[in-house]
Amino acid sequence: MNEQLNIEMRKLFDNDYFSDDFDPEDNLSDAAVKLAEEYGWSNVYSWFFDYLTQECDTDVKVYNAINLFCAFGYEEYPISNPYELIGYIYYRIDLDEHWEEWGDFVDSFSIEILENCGKVDLMKDPYYRSWEDKNVIAAVEEWSKQNES
């Protein structure tokens, strides 16, 4: 992977979204868009997916990462593996424990990703719930199997 891309992406994702000091409008959103243009969205997303699945090993880290992802506008881009991404998020974030604080955001994030990838159409299925989707469930189960050891 391009070392410069790694350095630039870390500048974005080594932030605490919930810190009083964090403001995505401090040129970070512009920098995020420029990275996607300069290095290509597939390389930026690949970096993010690796970061999320290899370094965000707690629910808090995953929740922070997906909030940053949205703050930078990346949820608007096409994603090649939406079910694998959402499966990891549901695998790591225990929504039974965190539903009150995080549930609405995680659900909205998941639906937006799936809508942008053409996997869900809320006009046709206005009661869609990502956590009930057989493809999401299968992806969560796959992440669970991979991480049993």
In this prediction, residue 149 carries a pLDDT of 59
**Is the model's pLDDT at 1 over the cut of 60?**
no
**What are the structure tokens assigned to 139, written together?**
């992806």
- Nearest-angstrom CA–CA distance, 17 and 64: 6
Domain of 123, in residue numbers: 3-146
As a whole number, mean pLDDT of residues 16-33 equals: 86
Q: What is the pLDDT of residue 22?
A: 87
What does the buried/exposed string (b/e) look like for 10-49 if buried means 16 or more CB atoms within 10 Å of the residue's CB?
eebbebebeeeeeebeeebbeebeebbeebeeebbbbbbb
Range list of H helices, 72-146: 82-92, 95-98, 104-116, 134-146
Provide the phi-psi class of 128: left if phi over 0, else alpha when psi is between -120 and 50, else beta: beta
Number of domains in the chain: 1
pLDDT score for 109: 95
Give the per-residue pLDDT at 49: 97
Residue 18 has pLDDT above 80, yes or no: yes
State residue 21's pLDDT score. 87
pTM: predicted TM-score of the whole model, two decimal places: 0.91
pLDDT digit string, tens, across residues 88-130: 999 999 888 888 889 899 999 999 999 999 999 899 988 888 8
Which range among 5-9, 22-26, 96-100 has the greatest average pLDDT? 5-9
Residue pLDDT, tens place only, 25-62: 777 889 999 999 999 999 999 999 999 999 999 999 99
